[in-house]
Amino acid sequence: MSRPICPKCHYPQTACLCAQLRPLATRVELIVLQDPSEVKQAKNSVKLMQAVCDKLQVVVGETPADFTQLQAYLKRQSKPILLLYPSEQSQNINELPLPAEVIVLLLDGTWRKAYKLLQLNPWLLEYQAVHLNVDAPSNYTIRKAKRADSLSTLEAAAMAIKALEPNSDVSPLTDALSALVEQHLTAMPSVVRQRYLSQK
C-alpha cells in the first residue's frame, strides 16, 4: 500500500507542505532536465520547486531522444537560453548583461549525473553556459537556508533568478526549502537531530 499523496504539493499527506508554500513570481523561465534516477529521490528539491512554481518545466530523460520535444521547443524560442553548468567556458551569471526574460536550463542530479547528461547531450553546449556567483551578498539568505549537501537544484534556481532579476522575491523557494528541512528535522529521532544540528 502506498501512502496517500497530497494532490497539490505531491508530498505524503502526513508531510503536506501546502500551508508553507507561496507561489513564486518570476519572469525567468526555468527548465529542469532530470536524470530518471532522481525522480524517486525523497530529498530531491525539484518536486518542491514544482509546488511553488507552476510554470516550471521538468523533462525527465538521459539521451537526446528523450529530449526531442524539448529541443524543438527551445528552437522556437526567441529569448536567450542559458545552461547553468560551471565549466571552463561558462560565464559568471552576474556579469552577463541579460534581460530577465531568459530561459535557464538546469541539470538535476549529482555532479556525476549532470556531467553524464551533458556528455550524452552535446546539443546542450550550443547554449551559453553560466555559473553562479555563490559569494554575492544577495545569495546570503539562500545559502543560509541550506544545511547539508551541496547546492540543491532549488537553491541554484533561486540564485539564478536573483542574478537575472535582482528585485524579485525568491523567498517562496527558500522558505519552502526551510520548511522541508524543518520537517526532516522534526521527523528525526532526537538523538540523530542533535548530532545533525551540531554539525552545522
SS3 content of the chain, % helix, strand, coil (to 5): 45, 15, 40
The grid coordinates of residue 85 equal 553548468
**9 near Zn ion, judged by CB under 5 A:** yes
Distance (Å, whole) CA 142 – CA 153 = 12
Binding window for Zn ion (CB under 5 A); candidates: 10-18, 72-80, 123-131, 178-186: 10-18
Residue 56 CB, nearest distance to Zn ion (Å)? 16
Using CB under 5 A as the binding rule, the residues of this chain from 11 to 40 that contact Zn ion are 16, 18
Among 8, 22, 55, 144, binds Zn ion (CB under 5 A): 8
**Which residue, 21 or 114, is less far from Zn ion as judged by CB?**
21
Distance (Å, whole) CA 11 – CA 18 = 9
Distance (Å, whole) CA 164 – CA 59 = 23
Binding window for Zn ion (CB under 5 A); candidates: 8-16, 91-99, 108-116, 148-156: 8-16
Residue 58 CB, nearest distance to Zn ion (Å)? 18
**Which residue, 21 or 102, is less far from Zn ion as judged by CB?**
21
**Which residue, 9 or 154, is less far from Zn ion as judged by CB?**
9
**5 near Zn ion, judged by CB under 5 A:** no
**Which residue, 8 or 144, is less far from Zn ion as judged by CB?**
8
The grid coordinates of residue 194 equal 542533535
**6 near Zn ion, judged by CB under 5 A:** yes
Write down the H helix ranges in the chain: 46-52, 68-75, 111-120, 140-145, 153-164, 171-187, 190-198
Residue 126 CB neighbours (<10 A): 11
Residues that bind Zn ion (CB under 5 A): 6, 8-9, 16, 18
